[in-house]
Structures are given as structure tokens and as C-alpha cells.
Amino acid sequence: MFLEQLYTFGDPRRDPRGRVVTVAYFALITAAQPPPRAGDDAEARWHAMPRLPELAFDHKQILAYALRRLRYKLEYTAVGFELLTDEFTLAELQAAYEIILDEPLDKRNFRRRLLEANVIEETGKYRSGQVGPRAQLYRYRTDAVAEVKARRLFP
């Protein structure tokens, strides 16, 4: 799980009941990990960002801030790979980026940029059990941090 401190929110007017300071974090988990559970007194649910329900106080703005940060981090870090298992298909990686960016990406350009940047490598394995041809599996090159920063994969 990827966990990062996001920001400290402390506007005196954010809660009408009195001064509240929130230190917000954001976490990324893979679909293979069990989702975090809220405490007994919370009614936590998963929602897509474009379709958030009404939230208390400035919580919607905090989530929007987290999404902006995540989108920015896609440009210069490998944070997108945190949403995947160790071995993934290019289609799975592209889907993760499209969800975060909330826009479709050209399949050929996406793959070309990744392969030219040399930040992923083939595993020699294939994902089976899906409709269509078997999909080749890749893994992130953990030694490719400099390439990610230098290339700005998805500005």
C-alpha cells in the first residue's frame, strides 16, 4: 500500500462547530488487496470521484486536492504502478492512468512512451483466462526512478 501525507487543512471556517485541523493522507491500494475497513461507527463506501455524494464540511475539496496531487505525481513518479500487482498487462496500466486522469489515452502512444522510457520490462509470462489473445505481463523496473523523472511520461 502506498501512503503519503497530503496536506494539513486548518481554515478556521471549515467546521461551524469550532476550529478543526485535519492532517489528510492519501493511500493507493491494488485491486488485489482487501479494501480498508472503517471503524464500527462509520458508514464508509467507495465512490467514483466524479460521482461523490454530498460530503460534510470541506471533505469534497480535500478529495479534489488529493486527486490533483495524484495527477501531478503521475508526471514525475511511478505512483501509477502502485495501483497494480507486481505483474500487470499494459491494458491494466493504461486503465489505471485513464481512471486517474479521467480521460482516454491513445493506446499506441501510451505503450510507445512506456517502452521507449524503459521503465517496464517483460516478465515472459502471459495472462490467460480472458477473452481474446493472451496478454503479455510486465513489471515495473524498480531501478528506473531516474528515467521516470527525466522522461515525464505523461505530462
Domain-located, residue 42 = no
In a domain, 61, yes or no: yes
0.75 surpassed by pTM:
yes
Task: Give a yes or no: residue 129 inside a domain.
Answer: yes
- Alpha-carbon Rg for the chain, nearest whole angstrom, is 18
Mean per-residue pLDDT, 90-113: 93
In a domain, 41, yes or no: no
Can you tell me the distance from the alpha carbon of 77 to that of 106, in angstroms, rounded to the nearest whole number? 20
C-alpha cell at 120: 517496464
Is 144 inside a domain boundary?
A: yes
CATH number, domain of 111, equals 1.10.10.10
The span from the first CA to the last CA of the chain, in angstroms, equals 25
List pLDDT tens digits, range 122-137. 999 998 776 778 899 9
In a domain, 40, yes or no: no
Q: 26 lies in a domain?
A: yes
Residue range of the domain that includes 15:
2-35+47-151
Q: If pLDDT is split at 50, 70 and 90, which confidence band does 106 have?
A: very high
- Output the DSSP codes for the chain: -EEEEEEEE--TTS-TTS---EEEEEEE--TTSPPP---TT-------GGG----STTHHHHHHHHHHHHHHHHHHS-GGGGGS-SSB-HHHHHHHHHHHHTS---HHHHHHHHHHHT-EEEEEEEE-SSSSSPEEEEEE-TT-HHHHHHHTS--
Establish if 71 belongs to a structural domain: yes
Q: How many domains does the chain have?
A: 1
Check whether 33 has a pLDDT greater than 90: no
Does residue 109 register a pLDDT over 90? yes
